């Protein structure tokens, strides 16, 4: 048997369930404990990307304990206007606000802290929103990229899950071969740097149709038949059924490989 976690947010996507499955000695699809935790914590994720030389938007992170040090003018000086405020450990655009002035800033800080004890301030990037799916363990492959065309100010929770007209998904994206290759290469590198396995979706900004910037990585992307992750693979020649079969096989390969490791020692 193989467990296929399709859980989003804390306790499902952050390594908690993955740790439970490892303790239970059960194979499962997707990233293990470390990759899942890194993929959930945007602060840690972006630090690793930055250290690896992978372009990502400039950001600042604050804990609740440093609330008195959060100053609008200081953030504006470092990031410019507008900028985003978001919980560090959450997904689906929950708790995210686009900030243009001091009044919005105060409301957005309170909103983000409702969901997490650490929040992120992130520079706004003007550009196209591109997504790329990754499949594999040690030798992953990248799909053709797709583009999200939001019909609102940004790709919010409502646009993703409630408003059926919230965004248009263009699959594959209209890009040059050169940019497609660059996106695929950066996507695979991001997947490896963040210790991922099995599957992930990497979200990019494409600025001026030439500068590729990694926004974030999702270790458990949406997996309905109309979700971007499987649709990108379908456009790349892998059907929904084949994709599920491959992911199960990858989970079994990972499990068998880990079973060979020594986990007890004589003292």
Quick one: pLDDT band at residue 161, thresholds 50, 70, 90?
very low
| pLDDT value of residue 164 | 58
112, 86 Cβ separation under 8 angstroms: yes
Higher-pLDDT residue of 227 and 38 is: 38
- pLDDT for 55 beyond 60: yes
> Rounded distance, CA 194 to CA 215, Å?
13
Higher-pLDDT residue of 201 and 261 is: 201
Name the burial class of residue 116, with classes exposed (0-12), middle (13-18) and buried (19+) by CB atoms within 10 angstroms of its CB.
buried
> Could you identify the residue written with the tokens 């900004």?
205
> Rounded distance, CA 235 to CA 253, Å?
26
| pLDDT value of residue 8 | 87
Grouping H, G, I as helix, E, B as strand and the rest as coil, residue 161 is: helix
Percent of the chain with pLDDT over 70: 94
| pLDDT value of residue 152 | 64
Higher-pLDDT residue of 237 and 161 is: 237
**Cα 240 from chain centroid?**
21
Higher-pLDDT residue of 67 and 14 is: 14
Which pLDDT tens digit goes with each residue over 87-113? 999 866 789 999 999 999 999 999 999
Looking at the chain, the number of H-run helices and the number of E-run strands are 9, 10
- Write the CATH number of the domain with boundaries 16-56+126-259: 3.30.470.20
> Rounded distance, CA 145 to CA 204, Å?
10
- Write the CATH number of the domain with boundaries 59-123: 3.30.1490.20
| pLDDT value of residue 182 | 99
Phi, psi of 171 (to 5 degrees): -130, 120
Round the average pLDDT of the chain to a whole number and report it: 93
Summarize the confidence of residues 61-72 as an average pLDDT.
Answer: 91
Number of other CB atoms surrounding residue 8 within 10 Å: 16
Query: Alpha carbon of 90 to those of 9, 68, 116, 235: distances in Å?
Result: 5, 23, 8, 29
Quick one: pLDDT band at residue 9, thresholds 50, 70, 90?
confident
**Could you state, in order of their start, the residue ranges of all structural domains in the chain?**
16-56+126-259, 59-123
- pLDDT for 154 beyond 70: no
| pLDDT value of residue 67 | 83
21, 30 Cβ separation under 8 angstroms: no
Name the burial class of residue 50, with classes exposed (0-12), middle (13-18) and buried (19+) by CB atoms within 10 angstroms of its CB.
middle
> Rounded distance, CA 115 to CA 97, Å?
13
pTM here?
0.92
Which pLDDT tens digit goes with each residue over 69-84? 899 999 999 999 999 9
Which pLDDT tens digit goes with each residue over 194-253? 999 999 999 999 999 999 999 999 999 988 888 899 999 999 999 999 999 999 999 999
Summarize the confidence of residues 129-145 as an average pLDDT.
Answer: 98
């Amino acid at each position: 048997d193989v467990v296929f976690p399709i859980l989003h947010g804390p306790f499902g996507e952050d390594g908690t369930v993955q740790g439970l499955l490892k303790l239970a000695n059960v194979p499962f699809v997707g990233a293990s404990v470390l990759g899942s935790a890194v993929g959930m914590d945007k602060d840690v994720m972006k630090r690793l990307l930055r250290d690896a030389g992978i372009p990502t938007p400039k950001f600042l992170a604050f804990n609740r304990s440093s609330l008195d040090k959060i100053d609008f003018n200081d953030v504006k000086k470092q990031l410019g206007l507008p900028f985003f405020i978001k919980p560090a450990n959450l997904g689906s655009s929950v708790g995210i606000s686009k900030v243009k002035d001091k009044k919005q800033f105060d409301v957005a800080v309170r909103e983000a802290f409702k969901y997490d004890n650490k929040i992120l301030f992130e520079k706004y990037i003007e550009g196209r929103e591109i997504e790329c799916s990754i499949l594999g363990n040690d030798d992953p492959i990248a799909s053709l990229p797709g583009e999200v065309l939001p019909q609102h100010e940004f790709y919010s929770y409502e646009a993703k899950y409630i408003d059926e007209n919230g965004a248009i998904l263009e699959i594959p994206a209209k890009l040059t071969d050169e940019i497609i290759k660059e996106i695929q290469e950066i996507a695979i590198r991001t997947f490896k740097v963040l210790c991922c396995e099995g599957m992930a979706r990497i979200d990019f900004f494409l600025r001026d149709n030439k500068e590729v910037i990694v926004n974030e990585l999702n270790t458990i992307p949406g997996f309905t038949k109309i979700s971007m992750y499987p649709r990108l693979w379908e456009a790349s020649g892998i059907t929904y059924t084949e994709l599920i079969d491959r992911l199960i096989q990858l989970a079994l390969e990972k499990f068998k490989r880990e079973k060979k490791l020594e986990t007890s020692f004589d003292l």
